[in-house]
Amino acid sequence: MEIFSGEFFLALVQIVFLDLVLAGDNAIVIGLAARNLQPATQKKAILLGTAGAVLLRILATILVVWLLEIPWLLLIGGILLIGIAYKLLTDEDDHSDIQAGQHLWTAIRTIIIADAAMGLDNVIAVAGAAEHNNVLVVLGLLISVPIVVWGSTLFIKLINRYPWIIYLGAAVLGYTASSMITDEEHFTAFFDTHPLVRGLFIAAVVLGVLAAGHFKKQASRRQREQTGT
């Protein structure tokens, strides 16, 4: 992939969108970790904690991009990403286990550790969409993370108001996952000679993720209504 080509910018848009959809949880974590600090200190904690989290995530993603060149890891990464796409549609974690820091460096440490623990989905998704291009990894994260930090409240409100954004995010994840699987070197010869099969496989994965996530979400909603919770 050539830098600053049409394909490059398309992949960059995909990475930024995936980060925005997947980072809603991380934005909540940042807010929870810094909620007990004074306003002025709170801004420092968010800024420094986010900077540390971004640096760690860039290094982790570049490492995963390199690891995905190892045989069979594209397949494994694709399967993991399918699970992440499904979880995106069905997850209802309230993050009540995130403790607020009482001091600046405690809050910064909490933000970095929590973000690293929750960032596996972002790392795998970005690594898959980047197609072994480290420039895309760095640019995508540098663009999307500040948007999440300073616009997290707005973005979360948008997701709550327009649930289809989550479905669109899951569809993009499904597409990225299935593309990773078809790009696995043990399968490329088959899929390159059967482009129709490749297209059908990608469509089946995307539709399968959306359908499974939708039905699971509906079942959970009916169960809550029956139990009155």
Which of 79-83, 85-89, 142-146, 181-185 is predicted least confidently? 142-146
State pLDDT tens for residues 98-141: 455 557 777 777 777 766 666 667 788 888 888 778 888 888 87
For residue 92, pLDDT beyond 70: no
For residue 64, pLDDT beyond 80: yes
Q: What is the pTM of this model?
A: 0.72
Domain membership flag for residue 74 = yes
Backbone angles phi, psi at 65, to 5 degrees: -55, -45
For the chain, the domain total comes to 1
- Domain range holding 165? 6-227
Nearest to 184 by CA among 101, 73, 46, 95: 73
What pLDDT is recorded for position 198?
95
Residue holding tokens 């607020």? 100
Q: Supply 196's token pair.
A: 């129709």
**Percent of residues, the chain, with pLDDT higher than 70:** 76
What pLDDT is recorded for position 130?
82
Domain membership flag for residue 189 = yes
For residue 28, pLDDT beyond 70: no
What pLDDT is recorded for position 32?
62
Q: Identify which of 91-100, 129-138, 194-203 has the greatest average pLDDT.
A: 194-203
Domain membership flag for residue 1 = no
What pLDDT is recorded for position 200?
97
List Cβ neighbours of 207 (8 Å cut-off, separation of 6 or more): none
Residue holding tokens 């980072």? 23
Domain membership flag for residue 41 = yes
Domain membership flag for residue 93 = yes
